Amino acid sequence: MGRHVSGAPLTVLFLVVLIDMIGFTLVIPFLTYFIQDLATSGGLTDVGSRDRWVGIVLAAYTLGQFIFTPILGSLSDRHGRRPVLMIGLVCNTVFVVAFGLATSLWMALVARFLAGAGNGNIAVAKAYIGDISTKQELPSRMGMIGASFGLGFMIGPLLGGILTDPASTIGGQFDTEWWRDHPYFLPCLFAGALSFISLLLAFRLLPESLPKERRKEIPPGYTSVNTMIRNFTDLKDLTPSIRRLILTNAGFLFAFTMMHATFILFTAMAVENGGLGYDELMNGYIFAYVGLVGVIVQGGLIRTLSEKYDVGSLMAVGIVMTAIGLGSIPYLQPSPISIALIVMTMIAAGNGLFQPSQATLLTTESRIQGIDLGRVMGAQEGLGALSRIFGPILAAIIWAETVDGSGLWSYHTVFRVAGLVAILTLVLHLDVFRPRNNREAVPND
């Protein structure tokens, strides 16, 4: 049962999640260049060895989030949501700034891992909303969290691209030797400042949502490893149709994160080597555009489309669009830019169709079959997190082994593999998809 609260806590929660997403996505336009610079200064002159670290650092963030989300969730059950949310904001503030100051690959790796650990407070923010919301209020308030994700993915890359290398792009007081030696620090400092502001707002305006009498003791012997093992055990015990939906989601995420790890490796390549010659600012614009398309599709079009078409069909269309887009990336040319935007539109719109449609199908199947939704979502989140960890790593390995090759084994290979993985998820989806998805109403909880 929710309880009445003023609008201030919800606003602060919106900012917390928005700033978490900005901190996560802000590094997208320049992380590849930053890690390449650190690798080169550390003596890794071979292109494959250097670029392999891009995938490793990307995966470190998700690994930190994967490990610490259940820990933070349990701590919030025991000690309250407010202190845990604030711990996450402190982590964001400190470690995003530390990443911008990294002078070695290991320092960058540790900073991203710890930033991801702090990002586990997104789950706590959702629990906070559950504490203060009635059943009728819950959908719209959870939608607010989804909107903050979309806005963060738009704002973060744009800021990251604009604020990178201020000595050259902004000049003035930034045209100094220190800023020339730290071209990636300003966007990280800006993200840290935003996080610190939200920390102050949370301290002043965010009351505790979980009264002491409703708090739980952590069971003896509890560890986050137990939770992860339980999630995967739950996957084995679920029905075939739900298991296939979860595996479809994991495969899709695997393909999508392979693109995240290697897209900028491709766009940053010199034109004479087959790349697009993009800099951090151009990549920032591209990913901001991807975020914008995602917001349009998930924020407006999906509702209209789901009223006219079956959600299973929309999910299939989303997979096909994404697969074609992923496989088309290495064939892009520096101009016209419109072709690149068409390909990125296919990927972003495909993802925008897939995510809400898959969530709808999974929820529907769980309710029809009488399976606890929390158990299902836990299994999906666990396997999805592994996809977001191993997708970038595998992509970086394939890129490193093929970037200097030719024919079938070239820089095209990783994008072909990503497209193929997406197509394989379509096979799984078609196996589970049945017309019955719309045959009966979904019962209310």
Q: What is d(CA 254, CA 252) in angstroms, rounded to the nearest whole number? A: 5
Mean pLDDT within 215-235: 59
Q: Pick the residue with more confidence: 71 or 115?
A: 115
Mean pLDDT within 115-129: 77
Per-residue model confidence as pLDDT tens digits over 141-181: 666 666 677 788 888 899 999 999 999 888 889 999 999 99
pLDDT of residue 19: 78
Q: What is d(CA 438, CA 137) in angstroms, rounded to the nearest whole number? A: 25
Portion of the chain with pLDDT greater than 90, in percent: 28
Q: In terms of domains, do 227 and 201 share one?
A: no
Q: Is residue 84 part of a domain?
A: yes
The CATH number of whichever domain residue 202 belongs to comes to 1.20.1250.20
Q: Of 22-36, 231-245, 293-307, 326-340, which range is least confident?
A: 231-245
Q: Look up the pTM and report it.
A: 0.79
pLDDT of residue 4: 47
pLDDT above 90: residue 419: yes
Taking each helix axis from N to C end, the angle separating 47-79 and 240-267, rounded to the nearest 10 degrees, works out to 130
Q: In terms of domains, do 199 and 230 share one?
A: no
- pLDDT band at 132; cut points 50, 70, 90: confident
Q: In terms of domains, do 232 and 200 share one?
A: no
Mean pLDDT within 80-106: 89
Q: What is d(CA 194, CA 200) in angstroms, rounded to the nearest whole number? A: 10
Taking each helix axis from N to C end, the angle separating 138-163 and 7-25, rounded to the nearest 10 degrees, works out to 40
pLDDT of residue 437: 45
Reduced 3-state DSSP string for 83-140: HHHHHHHHHHHHHHHHHHCCCCHHHHHHHHHHHHHHCCHHHHHHHHHHHHCCCCCHHH
pLDDT of residue 416: 94
Residue after which a domain boundary falls, among 152, 176, 206: 206
Q: Average pLDDT, whole number, for the chain?
A: 82
Q: In terms of domains, do 193 and 231 share one?
A: no
Mean pLDDT within 226-231: 62
Q: Is residue 217 part of a domain?
A: no
Residue after which a domain boundary falls, among 206, 233, 267: 206
Q: What is d(CA 376, CA 69) in angstroms, rounded to the nearest whole number? A: 17
In sequence order, what are the residues at sequence separation of 6 or more whose Cβ sits closer than 8 angstroms to the Cβ of residue 400? 47, 48, 49, 51, 52
Q: In terms of domains, do 191 and 238 share one?
A: no
Q: What is d(CA 190, CA 195) in angstroms, rounded to the nearest whole number? A: 9
Mean pLDDT within 408-430: 89
Q: Pick the residue with more confidence: 136 or 112?
A: 112
Q: In terms of domains, do 169 and 274 share one?
A: no
What is the extent of the structural domain holding 397? 222-445
Q: How far is CA 188 from CA 46, 75, 156, 194, in A?
A: 28, 28, 11, 10
Continuous segment of H or E residues that includes residue 72: helix 47-79
Q: Is residue 213 part of a domain?
A: no
In sequence order, what are the residues at sequence separation of 6 or more whose Cβ sits closer than 8 angstroms to the Cβ of residue 194? 19, 22, 23
Per-residue model confidence as pLDDT tens digits over 12-68: 777 777 877 887 788 889 998 999 999 999 888 888 888 889 989 988 988 888 888
Q: In terms of domains, do 232 and 261 share one?
A: yes
pLDDT of residue 227: 61
Q: In terms of domains, do 269 and 160 share one?
A: no
The torsion angles phi and psi of 223, rounded to 5 degrees, stand at -140, 160
How many alpha carbons lie under 13 Å from residue 394 in its C-beta half-sphere?
A: 19
